[in-house]
Amino acid sequence: MRPRLKIEKRLVTSRRVMFLASVLSIALALLAIALVFWEYGVDPIYAYTEIFIGSFGSIFGLSDTIAKAIPLMLCGVGLAVAFKALVWNIGAEGQLLMGAIAATGIALYVFPDAPAAVVLPSMFVAGFLSGALWGLVPSVLKAKLRANEVITTLMMNYIASNLVNYLVYGAWKGLKEWGFPYTDKFPSSAWIPTLPIGTGRIHYPTLILALMLAVLTYVLVMRTKLGYEIRVTGENPDAARYAGMSYFKTAMLVMLISGGLAGLAGVGEVAGNPSHHRLRYPQGISPGYGFIAIIVAWLGRLHPLAIIISSLLFGGLLVGGDAIQVSLGLPFAVIGIFNGVILFFVIGAELLLRYKVTIEWRREG
Amino acid sequence: MKRFPDVVANDHIDFELKAGEIHALLGENGAGKTTLMNVLYGIYRPDEGKIYVGGERAEIKSPRDAIYLGLGMVHQHFMLVHPHTVAENVALGLSSSKFLFPVREVEKGVAELSERYGLKIDSKAKIWQLSVGEQQRVEIIKALYRGAQVLILDEPTSVLTPGETRDLFNTLRRIAKEGRSIIFITHKLDEAMEISDRITVLRHGKVVATVRASETNKRELARMMVGREVLFRLEKKPAKRGEVVLEVKNLHALNDKGLPAIKGVSFTLSQGEILGIAGVAGNGQRELVEVINGLRKATEGKVFILGQDRTNCSPKEVIEMKVAHIPEERIRMGLVSNMSIAENLVLKNYRDSPFSKILFLNLAVIDQEAEKLISEYNIITPSKKTQAKLLSGGNIQRLILARELSENPCLIVAAHPTYGLDVGATEYIRTLLLKQREEGAAVLLVSEDLEEIMSLSDRIAVMFEGVFIGILPAESAEVEEIGLMMAGAKRMTDVKEGS
């Protein structure tokens, strides 16, 4: 008896298959990364236990995991909307930073003395608009000059990142920061309140906003005219044109939503994370949330509600990564490998969504 | 035997093909012809049953196995990579192709085959630039290049003119004479009678009979195929012409290659009238349809709809004028295959009340409308939530017609509306178009099927190389004359509109 793979086209892909494919891709990724641990002379099972305990095993770990899931959720949901319309936004990182800049501007220069009830909402609005505007530029370039948005959104990240650098080293450099590349600390009216749980980093208004927006986005995609246009455009751009839908309009709106949500994530980071409360150099604000969110969105199969779960998973991964760095002395780059390998398997699992693969046993000869 | 969700597509089929034989597989859409061939070609796996090739039990698990066994397939919907050239498409998946510059060698071979069988294909042309008819020839070359001993053709003539069909038949006879076998899938009785040695008739997934072509007749075949007696003539009332709906003046437009495709076309079309445009694919019909629907820019000239200038409007503005468009490439343009039937049915009117209010879709009304249209247009489907891609060819076209005709259009632009459809569906769709004409719609009918043009049109325009060679009244038009005009051999000296 020997096994043979039997591959057949799937006519219908059920929810269950989608879920199983996601679970399977994570399992395979964990197996592959086990080899990396093994190479470092670390027992993979021990490493995974450490990661799990570090991120989900205690109230401290869990609170950090949730805190890190907030920006991932916001960016991931936004990206899912864009990806659904086949608009490849790789610029969530830059859009997040632009949101952070806008929040800082409001907190330090526009409303330095206003009460929280004025400052906080203005920060969120300004953050959304500024991220949305940053997303709008590539979509206009695409519509008018046919510039590929993968390239332009990616490059806009560097512009945003250097803009942050310019501000924290130059124009907005803090007077009381001893020469560090930080702005001054926000007045306390511009701090997003946090829950007194664990490490106290869960800025719950942002969390609630993120959850609400995930649900709203789901409704947007499934129940609204715009959502219908997004789905048709993503499934068959020719049919969308035939039906009189404007690709430019759809692409612009999804980039506005996508950029806006990333912008909100930026607001949450500078004003909500108690270790910030100021703008600092770009890597200090985000360890690449905008990029990790791409994986979060795909792992959630672009379903806004599933992305809530996948963002928690990746929040845990980031926290667990910190934990093994400390306890096992592994380089932080291992987490980068983690992300890459998971994305690899998640995209690879697309095959399982389109084809049914079964193993059949047959007699020799 | 092959089961699909909720349907048995092939029910215990016995089928036998001899060397050097042309064997027609005749049946209506949804009879299971394409499924059977897809099983042979390894795209689907049978749930029961066995396949033998040259007396040996064959397990065909993928098209690769099928090709290895000498099977070549020309699908109804072509399997070509559009941005690539002809030679690149042929080279794709060839196990013998070199790692570097795999295409060079192939180009020579393609030119040779093209020469040998008179297929007239430029190996360096990009697929998206080719007409449907030319794309089909690429598919044939692809199969021959792989050394196919059995060539399977799925509805090959639906895209061809009578002349091209004759050429294809000659090619096929030459191929068969070399000892290769051909399976010719069709629903056209005349063709099955003309080209094949034997005919196997399928109905509802079962074999009705296998007969020698010389020992049967059209009537008998039709009865076996449909299961009842078939009417071959359509009832058509005299035209009641009303106001002018569409006026095209000196229209010019470019094709995808950026070359002039329409070179000064003018005509008018009135309420209650069908204007048929006959012509070989690639003579500007597709571009004309696209310009009228706002999908392509005119470089010169004007398009008036109901007296209003609608030149170079957006597709949306044209839709708002109540113009229905039955597109040439149904699946590529007219359908969102992964979405449900209900969602596909509102593709054109989802913006309007009562299907949506302000921002939101009204799903209850959309579902209701779907139920209504499914029963009104006899779309055969397990449910309104079924994904559109699971429908058979005829039902896909019913879906598109249901969507396009349900809004009482003033103008219907129908491109190849019955292409690839069976007798029953064709009869139904033609009746629908005639009914729309009686109700006062103007119909612009583009078709390569001369029989269709002759039986439906009030006036017939023949398009050749981007111009109307002439517009004739249908009563006095002769098939031979139109055929000559389609080939560009005859021009009307006085290019005036017939009335």
B188 and B210 fall within a common domain: yes
Summarize pLDDT for B439-455 with one digit per residue, the tens. Answer: 999 999 999 878 889 88
CB < 8 Å to B324, chain A: none
Q: Which domain CATH number covers B163?
A: 3.40.50.300
CA distance B246 to B462: 18
User: Under a CB-based contact definition with an 8 Å cutoff, are residues B245 and B410 in contact?
Assistant: yes
> Is B314 touching A (CB cutoff 8 A)?
yes
User: Is there a single domain that holds both residue B110 and residue B10?
Assistant: yes
Q: How many CA atoms lie within 13 A of B87 on its CB side?
A: 17
Looking at this protein, which amino acid is placed at residue B385?
K
The answer to whether residue B232 neighbours chain A at the CB level (below 8 Å) is no
Is B44's CB within 8 Å of A224's CB?
no
- Same domain? For B359 and B311 the reply is no
H-helix or E-strand spanning residue A101 = helix A92-105
- Measure B337 CA to nearest chain A CA, in Å: 8
Nearest to A228 among B61, B325, B350 (CB): B350
Q: Note the ipTM here.
A: 0.85
Distance CA A104, CA A270 (A): 7
B429 in the same domain as B362: no
Inform me whether the C-beta atom of residue A236 falls under 8 Å from chain B C-beta atoms. yes
E strand or H helix that includes residue B322 = none
A355 touching B (Cβ < 8 Å): no
> Could you tell me if B155 and B38 lie in one domain?
yes
Q: Does A239 touch chain B (CB under 8 A)?
A: yes
User: What pairs with residue B100 in β-bridges?
Assistant: none
Is the pLDDT score of A349 beyond 60? yes
Task: Examine the domain organization and report whether B97 and B61 are in the same domain.
Answer: yes
Closest CA to A332 of A340, A343, A323: A323
Q: Is residue B315 part of a domain?
A: yes
CA–CA distance, B412 with B417 (Å, rounded to integer): 11
d(C-alpha B48, C-alpha B57), whole Å? 14
- Asked whether residue B99 is domain-assigned, the answer is yes
Contact residues, B window 133-172, toward A, CB-based 8 Å cutoff: none
CB B181, CB B24: distance < 8 Å: no
Beta-strand relationship, B308-309 and B7-10: unpaired
**Is there a single domain that holds both residue B402 and residue B430?**
no
- Write down which residue in B226, B251, B275 finishes a domain: B226
Q: Indicate whether B422 pLDDT > 80.
A: no
A231 Cβ under 8 Å from any chain B Cβ? yes
Judged by CB atoms closer than 8 Å, whether chains meet at B316 and A245 is answered as yes
Are B186 and B250 in a shared domain? no
Under the banding of pLDDT at 50, 70 and 90, the label for residue A99 is very high
**Any CB–CB contact under 8 A between A9 and chain B?**
yes
Q: Smallest Cβ distance to A241: which of B5, B315, B389?
A: B315
List, for residues A225-266, the tens digit of each pLDDT value.
999 999 999 999 999 999 999 999 999 999 999 999 999 999
Q: Is any Cβ of chain B less than 8 angstroms from the Cβ of A7?
A: yes
Q: Kindly report, residue by residue over A132-172, the tens digit of the pLDDT.
A: 999 999 999 988 888 999 999 999 999 999 999 999 998 89
Select from A9, A12, A224 the Cβ nearest to the Cβ of B359: A224
Q: Does B81 touch chain A (CB under 8 A)?
A: no
Which ranges of B132-247 does DSSP label H, i.e. alpha helix?
132-145, 162-177, 189-195, 218-226
Whether residues B40 and B66 share a domain: the answer is yes
Nearest CA in chain A to B403: A243
Residues of B in contact with A232 (CB under 8 A): 336, 339, 347
Q: Does domain A57-329 have CATH number 1.10.287?
A: no
Q: What's the pLDDT band for B489 if we cut at 50, 70, 90?
A: low
Q: Work out the burial of residue B322: count CB atoms within 10 Å of its CB; fewer than 13 is exposed, 13-18 middle, 19 or more buried.
A: middle
Checking if the pLDDT of B5 tops 60, the result is no
Q: List, in sequence order, every beta strand (DSSP E) within A136-250.
A: none
Q: Which residue of A has its CA nearest to B360?
A: A224
pLDDT in tens, A178-231: 778 899 899 999 999 999 988 999 999 999 999 999 999 999 999 999 999 999
Q: Where does a domain end: B201, B226, B251?
A: B226
pLDDT for res A315: 94
A24 touches B: beta carbon within 8 Å:
no
Q: Phi/psi of residue A180, each to 5°? A: -70, 150
For residue B382, which residues of chain A lie inside 8 Å, CB to CB? none
Cβ-defined contact of A243 to B318 (cutoff 8 Å):
no
Boundary of a domain, candidates B226, B261, B288: B226
The helix, strand and coil proportions of chain A, stated in percent and rounded to the nearest 5, come to 70, 5, 25
B335–A244 C-beta distance less than 8 A: no
Can you tell me the distance from the alpha carbon of B396 to that of B394, in angstroms, rounded to the nearest whole number?
5
B495 pLDDT more than 50? no
Residues above pLDDT 90, as percent of chain B? 38
- Chain A positions touching B320 (Cβ under 8 A) are 244
Query: Can you give the pLDDT at residue B498?
Result: 39
Compute the nearest-CA separation of B174 from chain A (Å): 35
Most B CBs within 10 A among A14, A225, A353, hence the mutation to make, goes to A225
Q: Which of the residues B75, B360, B387 would you substitute to probe the A interface, choosing the one with the greatest number of A C-beta atoms within 10 Å?
A: B360
Q: In angstroms, rounded to a whole number, what is the distance separating the alpha carbons of residues B267 and B229?
A: 40
- The DSSP code sequence of B12-47 is S------TT-EEEEEE-TTSSHHHHHHHHTTSS--S
B152 and B280, same domain (yes or no): no
**Mean pLDDT in residue range B479-486:** 80
Q: Which of B316, B332, B389 sits opposite A238 (nearest CB)?
A: B332
Q: State the pLDDT at residue B6.
A: 46
Q: Is B120 in a helix, a strand, or coil?
A: coil
Residues of A in contact with B317 (CB under 8 A): 244
Q: How many domains does chain B have?
A: 3
Q: Which residues form the domain of B474?
A: 239-322+408-499
More confident residue, B2 or B178: B178
Domain range annotation of chain A: 1-42+332-365, 57-329
Q: Specify the higher pLDDT residue, A331 or A267.
A: A267
Q: Which residues of B touch A244 (CB under 8 A)?
A: 294, 314-320, 348
User: Which among B62, B319, B390 has the least Cβ separation from residue A11?
Assistant: B390
User: Do B325 and A242 lie within an 8 Å CB cutoff?
Assistant: yes
Q: What is the DSSP letter of B213?
A: G
Shared-domain flag, residues B393 and B412: no
3-state secondary structure of B383: coil
Kindly state whether residue B281 falls inside one of the protein's structural domains: yes
> Is B232 contained in some domain?
no
Q: Assess whether B313 and B381 both reside in one domain.
A: no
Of all residues in chain A, the percent with pLDDT exceeding 90 is 65
